[in-house]
Amino acid sequence: MADTKTTQNYGAENIQVLEWLEPVRKRPWMYIGSTDERGLHHLVWEIVDNSIDEAMAGHCDTITVTFGADGSCMVEDNGRGIPVEKHAKTGKSTLETILTVLHAGGKFGWGGYKVSGGLHWVGSSVVNALSTKLEAWVHRDGKVHYQSFSLGVSDGDIKVVGDTDHTGTIIRFFPDASIFKTTVNFDYKTIITRMRQQAYLTKGIKLITIDERSGERYKFFFEGWVKSYVNFLNKNDHTIGDVFYAEKDKDDIMTEVSLQYNREFSNNIISFVNNIHTPEGGTHMTGFRTALTRTINKYARDKGILKEKDQNLTNEDVIEGIVVVLSVKVIDPQFEGQTKSKLGTPEARGAVDSAMSAAFMEFLEENPSSAKAICEKVNLAAKARLAARAARDTVIRKGALEGMTLPGKLADCSSKDPAVSELYIVEGDSAGGSAKQGRDRETQAILPLRGKILNTEQARIDKIFANEQIKNLIIALGTSIGETFDVSKLRYHRIVIMTDADVDGAHIRTLLLTFFFRYMKEIVDGGYLYIAQPPLYKLTKGKNSWYVYTEEEKTALVAERDIIGDNVQRYKGLGEMNPEQLWETTMDHDARKMYRVGIDDAQAADEMFKILMGGEVAPRRKFIQSRAKSVKNLDV
Ligand code: 1YM
């Protein structure tokens, strides 16, 4: 017998649910950032983050994430279980409310360290709305409670489906392929990287991932926590001194920081707020940098290592070759910046500074050999900085970097509007010649590069300035480099690396990528960098011809059109194509294929560059041996 009142209530709620479901499904990118692979993985992070919150609140120690052969993702934790009792106001269970109502900002009745306001911050309800099916099992009060949903709408009331002797939550969902058009395939490597990171950041947590598609399993548990993270990040480098670690709770802000130096010139500083990566830094990073610089200066002065009164180590000096993991937990953090990944909370600055200063001074005092090695390292960095400045000043005085004299090799485009201008960096003079003839002169500029360019991972900035090829590139780009780098001066908003599809081409491409990552990261971050995709083959049959870009495409087309061997032409180098062919296949705005370089995972890219380009030989050999086949395709 239907109770009118209840029916009416449910009707009204369902309308509410549908009302917010529509915008989420219509404009999903507003809730999850994008609907590509990255957006797809946000669904996983959202559910896992809820389990991690439960772990941070001290109620859960094991989280298992399983990718089913059926395309599903299942997250299981042994926390308290999402509350299931009916909510007096809504008439729905708390579980259903959580899964069907969009919570702007913080969570429903949810205390602790939950973060709100991030661009990618979505609720479980968004995951539900973007899944064809979502099922929840809650083990609580001795019973297993179950409820399922289709496209965000409940299939029926929550019900008890069995007894249980433990507590916890299981959520399984199938992402909707009509939303995620690029792919609904979870990438296990992306998942593993994230799980490892989370395990480093959450004390005492066990993270298990199972890929039923491949049978792979991983279990992450780190005794040493952020200290283990520093060890992991430094595993391919010659380290200098011991690992420093400190933790401190001050004014409700919990700081954990670990660091260790290595012999590289670049640094690797990773910061988190409530386990969320903050690539843009913020007040916590400012506190860290200030404390690090002040403490090392004070120590070096006290010990007579800095002799002259006015000699000072800059922040730049003390972060050369440093690996840092900084993790803070803040209640209700404020985020700023373009991608809402910069901490704005003013109190974090003082809290981190105070956690860092005293403990790091103590570390230096108690580990004199580490302290000595660190001081030598940063002193050398200071000397190099002064030398680099002198070298740069000379270069700048000569006007070489002023953009006044564009390199003779550059065939510039006639447009002066960076938004439509493209720079093709082309391997070799002959391909450069074809590109110059075949291009659209209005918008496409060509810069040929001859021979090997400098390995920028191993070179100091003063050497880089002196390298002719690199200098030409910097001048052509118009941004300058180092302290005077200014991305707003970039003359082309599309920079295309065009190299041959062979090992040499891959090497040159990797060198160029290394250069951009190390010295012009804003160009990568801004999405200005691309890799051209020239065809691998030209297939001909009678009067028809086709360009194909992959081996698979070739095999398919040869079979489909019944093409004989003689009519399959493999392009070994760009130089084999005449100007028209190069235009048609690789440069024509309407027909070309292009790969945009981005780093979702700066860490993985950084590691690869270090292995491939750094001074250490053993890890490079290991890497190349383990991936002999894929090393040719070093697309990051
Ligand atoms: C597989 C996903 O969501 N676990 C989870 C969520 C909650 C709790 C426990 C929980 C929280 C609280 C009390 C509390 C959530 N509860 C809520 C809300 N795993 C997963 N595990 N009891 C249980 O914070 O007070 C939201 S999430 F709002 F109901 F409390």
Q: Which residue has the tokens 């290991």?
A: 622
Stronger pLDDT, 572 or 164, i.e. the higher one: 164
What's the mean pLDDT in 1-20? Answer: 48
Stronger pLDDT, 3 or 431, i.e. the higher one: 431
Has residue 451 got a pLDDT over 60?
yes
Q: From CA 214, how far away is CA 548, in angstroms rounded?
A: 30
Q: Which atom of ligand 1 is nearest to the CA of 76?
A: 1
What's the mean pLDDT in 282-293? Answer: 97
In a shared domain, residues 52 and 107: yes
Which residue has the least CA distance to atom 4 on ligand 1?
51
- Provide the pLDDT for residue 456: 61
- Cα of 28 from ligand 1 centre, angstroms: 24
Last residue of a domain, one of 333, 352, 384: 384
Query: Mean pLDDT score of the chain, rounded to an integer?
Result: 83
- Provide the pLDDT for residue 103: 59
- Cα of 181 from ligand 1 centre, angstroms: 31
> What total number of domains does the chain contain?
3
In a shared domain, residues 274 and 336: yes
- Cα of 96 from ligand 1 centre, angstroms: 12
In a shared domain, residues 295 and 411: no
Which residues are designated catalytic? 427, 500, 502, 504
- Provide the pLDDT for residue 430: 84
- Provide the pLDDT for residue 520: 86
- Residues near 183 by beta carbon (within 8 Å), at least 6 away in sequence: 36, 37, 40
- Cα of 82 from ligand 1 centre, angstroms: 4
Q: Which atom of ligand 1 is nearest to the CA of 168?
A: 21
Q: Which atom of ligand 1 is nearest to the CA of 171?
A: 1
- Provide the pLDDT for residue 110: 35
- Provide the pLDDT for residue 615: 55
- Provide the pLDDT for residue 392: 64
Has residue 22 got a pLDDT over 70?
yes
In a shared domain, residues 18 and 60: yes
In a shared domain, residues 625 and 512: yes
Residue pair 193/229 in contact (Cβ under 8 Å)? The answer is no
pLDDT-based confidence at residue 120 (cuts at 50, 70, 90)? very low
- Provide the pLDDT for residue 122: 46
Q: From CA 323, how far away is CA 385, in angstroms rounded?
A: 19
What's the mean pLDDT in 461-489? Answer: 82
Ligand 1 site-directed mutation target among 66, 77, 102, 110, most atoms within 8 Å of CB:
110
Instruction: Give me the CATH number covering residue 130.
Output: 3.30.565.10
Last residue of a domain, one of 193, 220, 247: 220
The model's pLDDT over 493-503, given as tens digits with 9 standing for 90+, comes to 999 999 887 77
Is residue 564 a part of any domain in this protein?
no
Q: Which atom of ligand 1 is nearest to the CA of 111?
A: 24
The model's pLDDT over 84-111, given as tens digits with 9 standing for 90+, comes to 998 777 678 889 988 987 654 333 333 3
Has residue 628 got a pLDDT over 50?
no
Residue pair 560/417 in contact (Cβ under 8 Å)? The answer is no
Q: Which atom of ligand 1 is nearest to the CA of 124?
A: 3
Per residue, what are the HEC states of 58-124? CCCCEEEEEECCCCCEEEEECCCCCCCCECCCCCCEHHHHHHHCCCCCCCCCCCCCCCCCCCCCCCH
- Provide the pLDDT for residue 1: 37
Residues of the domain holding 281: 226-384
Ligand 1 binding residues, C-beta < 6 A: 47, 50-51, 54, 75, 77, 79-83, 94, 98, 107-111, 169, 171
Stronger pLDDT, 120 or 366, i.e. the higher one: 366
pLDDT-based confidence at residue 587 (cuts at 50, 70, 90)? very high
Helix (H, G, I), strand (E, B) or coil at 608: helix
- Cα of 170 from ligand 1 centre, angstroms: 11
Is residue 308 a part of any domain in this protein?
yes
In a shared domain, residues 274 and 318: yes
Q: What is the pTM of this model?
A: 0.62
- Cα of 168 from ligand 1 centre, angstroms: 9
- Provide the pLDDT for residue 426: 93
The model's pLDDT over 38-57, given as tens digits with 9 standing for 90+, comes to 899 999 998 998 898 898 88
Ligand 1 site-directed mutation target among 64, 74, 80, most atoms within 8 Å of CB:
80
Stronger pLDDT, 469 or 59, i.e. the higher one: 59
Is residue 545 a part of any domain in this protein?
no
